[in-house]
Amino acid sequence: MGGKLYIVGAGLSSDLITLRGIKTLKNSDIIFMDSYTSMLCNSDLEDIIGRRIYKLRRVDLEERFEEVLFKPVLQGLNVSLIVPGNPLDATTHVSLIVEAYRRNIMFEIIPAPGIIPNALSMSGLMVYKIGKVTTLTYPKQGFISDYPYDVIKDNDLRNLHTILLLEVDLENNIVMSISDAVDILLKLEEKRGEKIVNEERKAVAISGLGGSNQRICFNSLKKLKTLPKHRGPHTLVLTSPKLHFMEEEGLKALSTFNINAN
């Protein structure tokens, strides 16, 4: 009889993993962690579950998944893969489930809190005003993708918030900072010139959301660019052109860092 593949969400920080997630990991024969995009500390989770966790690279998840994940399941073992945030927010993990389904491999998803929609709700913004989400990446070979600019423009037209997930590639030591994100947005504005983004545009800079040292700061892009360095991952939310009065009050109450006082 075959085993089972578990995709276990670790939440926004190591101590936010669910009780169900902990129980699943403790009952697993082999436990892996996605280390490509995860800034979670595997030693913290190892202390919580009392088990060893093996890190997987991007190539393991995208090219060697049959050998690494599926083979032991077919041999009757229960295999868990820990992923940051909510399990299926990333296409890589959806692809794994699709491939498992095609091979009649049993699987189960263990959900946990992710950056979407918590980047809004934990900042005081209304979740029902969430617009299309996009990732902001560094220029590749001198080319800056216009796509995030188009997403912001479209969301603005509908008075929706834009969540910008900032690039993370730990294998290449890439963790985009808030400052770099602001620079890229302003370069896109310079390139397009449609007056969608400017230094005075308001946004929420979020770092280490859900952790004990999380930072949430609402201010202009110009001010956010001067924020001191902080532990990531980082997210930038461009707020809708017109805020509801409760959002304005929520932002004041939930901002953990007053840039004007520092």
Q: Give pLDDT, residue 69.
A: 96
Q: Give pLDDT, residue 262.
A: 54
Beta strands in 126-240 (DSSP E): 134-136, 162-166, 168-169, 174-175, 202-207, 215-220, 234-238
Q: Give pLDDT, residue 22.
A: 96
Place of tokens 């189960």: 108
| Residue 73: Cβ within 10 Å count | 22
Exposure letters 147-181 (e unless 16+ CB within 10 A, then b): ebbbbbbebbeeebbbbbbbbbebeeeebbbbbbb
Angle ∠(163,167,169) on CA atoms, nearest 5? 145
pTM > 0.75:
yes
pLDDT tens digit string along 69-83? 999 999 999 999 999
Task: Evaluate whether 27 touches 77 at the Cβ level (below 8 Å).
Answer: no
The secondary element (H helix, E strand) that includes residue 120 is helix 115-121
Q: Give pLDDT, residue 165.
A: 95
- Residues (pLDDT < 70) of the chain are 1, 37-42, 259-262
| SS3 category, 210 | coil
What domains can be seen in the chain, in order of their start residue? 4-110 (3.40.1010.10), 115-261 (3.30.950.10)
